Amino acid sequence: MEVKTDLAEKLAKETALQQHYVEELKAEVEKLKARLGHVPTCHVTTFGCQMNARDSEKLLGILLAAGYEETESEEADFVIYNTCTVRDNADQRVYGRLGVLKGFKNKNKEMKIGICGCMTQEQVVIDKLKKSYPFVDLIFGTHNLYKFPQLMCDLLASGGPIMDIWKDTDITVEDLPVCRKYSYKSGINIMYGCDKFCTYCIVPYVRGRERSRDKDAILNEIRSLAADGVKEIMLLGQNVNSYGKNLPDKTTFAQLLAATEEIEGIERIRFMTPHPKDFSDDVIEVMKGSEKICKHIHLPLQSGSSPILKRMNRSYDKEKYLDLALKIRSELPDVAITTDIIVGFPGETMADVEETIDVIRKVEYDNAFTFQYSKREGTPAARFPDQVDPVLMQEGFDLVLEEVQKMARKRTALLQGKTELALVEEINDHDPSLVTGRLSNNTIVHFKGDASLIGEIVPVSLDVCQGFYYLGTRQ
């Protein structure tokens, strides 16, 4: 109890402090505006997952509250990269684009560049930034993102550079401004960090230990999102079905889902990402009786080979995974199952790849993200001696992708001719006479409509299957 009270007090103090810094930052932005002769512009660029997208909404919310104006272009007075480091190509994209930002900064002497997120939690990245990218003005990590108002204030007052990286944290301040990208849907963090330590994965090192948010705090946030017109929420965590394990009242993920269902105004509930090991029957039961939980489960497989899964430290084998996936298929027949697959993990042979393909055929995934294994320094697998030859990795990848696409086409085609509810998300990128909607099971449908439909949930007939998506008609 003592510890909890201390933490609550610390949280309240830190929240008040950062809210104070938002006010201070307003004054700094006013001074900057006077120097520039215009309202300072800002741009937040997000790399990576939904967790990062949600963090970016917090960064932008604070910048806008302080008086910055958002701009589409990275030729802005303040640009911040919220980075991902799950695979090496994400790192390389950031380095490449920082080079472009340097050119903009040469033209605009008042420009400030920030970098935060998962990459900056790695010492190798910090060393490289210091050595090769000294023009970066502000560097902070994942654990102190909530300190952004204070760090921005210091940056504008001192001119920088400023670097503040923490190894871990026991609190996360939530009551700060947020600018949601979409009016009708929102992510909501239910937990931070990951304790699973899959041997290929850098996430536990850069996001820290698992911490669940208090259930009432989450439900209150969802209630206020609903009051603000949000219809669809996505409960976010690296490992959502471990939710509550470290809470004093041991609330389970199934209980959290059931409580969310009760919130008026929320029409759709999604969650990302469950771990197959902790996916319990009570979640299936809640989904069965739910009107709002979307008919989609993302269930990362990673590999279909039991020996490889063991070396990945995934805590399940091929049979256990198949039992779970096939149970979901039989208990929740209209739920789409999607997955993540890694090809080319150290020691993987073509026989292992065949095992993965066998699972793909048996589960018939509705969709899958397929990745080539990327060696992440500091993870156990990076030290495994039997790294896979890139040519073989590509070969395995192509085979897996082909099978995944075959299954996704087959599953998508099953909806042909049906009428389903779609949440309209945006005007179609290629044809402005169309809008793009998302079905409960995550399938995309394009149909005639205009901007007034954005955020509405409407019935649409699924007329023409185009492989992985539909062309439809509003009913």
Is the CB of 18 or the CB of 169 nearer to ligand SF4? 169
Over the window 182 to 201, marking each residue x when it contacts ligand SF4 by CB under 6 A and - when it does not, the resulting string is: ------------x-xxx--x
Partner in contact with 280, chosen from ligand SF4, ligand 5AD, none, beta carbon below 5 to 8 Å by kind: none
Taking the complex as a whole, the smallest distance from the CB of residue 379 to ligand SF4 amounts, in Å, to 9
Q: How far is the CB of 373 from ligand 5AD (least distance, A)?
A: 5
CB of 209 to ligand SF4, least distance (A): 11
| Of the candidate residues 302, 303, 338, 367, the single one contacting ligand 5AD (CB under 6 A) | 302
Torsion 401-403-408-413 (CA) sign: positive
Residues 69-108, one symbol each (x = binds ligand 5AD by CB under 6 A, - = not), give -----------------xx---------------------
Q: HEC string of the chain?
A: CHHHHHHHHHHHHHHHHHHHHHHHHHHHHHHHHHHHCCCCEEEEEECCCHHHHHHHHHHHHHHHHHCCEECCCCCCCEEEEEECCCCHHHHHHHHHHHHHHHHHHHHCCCCEEEEEECHHHCHHHHHHHHHHCCCCCEEECCCCHHHHHHHHHHHHHHCCCEEECCCCCCCCCCCCCCCCCCCCEEEEECEECCCCCCCCCCHHHHHCCCEECCHHHHHHHHHHHHHCCCCEEEEECCCHHHCCCCCCCCCCHHHHHHHHHCCCCCCEEEEECCCHHHCCHHHHHHHHCCCCECCEEECCCECCCHHHHHHHCCCCCHHHHHHHHHHHHHHCCCCEEEEEEEECCCCCCHHHHHHHHHHHHHHCCCEEEEEECCCCCCCHHHHCCCCCCHHHHHHHHHHHHHHHHHHHHHHHHCCCCCEEEEEEEEECCCCCCEEEEEECCCCEEEEECCHHHCCCEEEEEEEEECCCEEEEEEC
* Residue whose CB is less far from ligand 5AD, 244 or 300: 300
Out of ligand SF4, ligand 5AD, none, what residue 412 binds, judged by CB under 5 to 8 A for its kind, is none
From the list ligand 5AD, ligand SF4, none, partner contacted by residue 194 (C-beta under 5 to 8 A by kind): ligand SF4
Do residues 116 and 82 make contact, with C-beta atoms less than 8 angstroms apart? yes
Contact status: 354 vs ligand 5AD (CB under 6 A): no
Q: How many C-beta atoms lie closer than 10 Å to residue 207's C-beta?
A: 21
Question: Minimal CA–CA distance to 184: which of 422, 441, 471, 419?
Answer: 422
Stretch 269-298: interaction string toward ligand SF4, x if CB under 6 A:
------x-----------------------
CB of 195: closest distance to ligand SF4 in angstroms? 8
Mark the segment that binds ligand 5AD (CB under 6 A) among 35-43, 148-156, 169-177, 366-374: 366-374
Q: Which stretch binds ligand 5AD (CB under 6 A): 278-286, 367-375, 410-418, 434-442?
A: 367-375
Q: Tell me the closest approach of the beta carbon of residue 135 to ligand 5AD, in angstroms.
A: 29
CB of 170 to ligand SF4, least distance (A): 20
Q: How far is the CB of 235 from ligand SF4 (least distance, A)?
A: 16
Q: How far is the CB of 301 from ligand 5AD (least distance, A)?
A: 8
Of 78 and 192, nearer to ligand 5AD (C-beta) is 192
Q: How many residues bind ligand SF4 (CB under 6 A)?
A: 10
Q: Which of 18, 239, 367, 436 binds ligand SF4 (CB under 6 A)?
A: 239
- The least CB distance from residue 372 to ligand 5AD, in Å, is 7
> Is residue 371 a contact point for ligand 5AD (CB under 6 A)?
yes
Q: Please give the residues from 195 up to 234 whose contact with ligand SF4 meets the rule CB under 6 A.
A: 196-198, 201, 203-204
Task: Decide if residue 373 touches ligand 5AD (CB under 6 A).
Answer: yes
Rule CB under 6 A: which residues touch ligand SF4? 194, 196-198, 201, 203-204, 238-239, 275
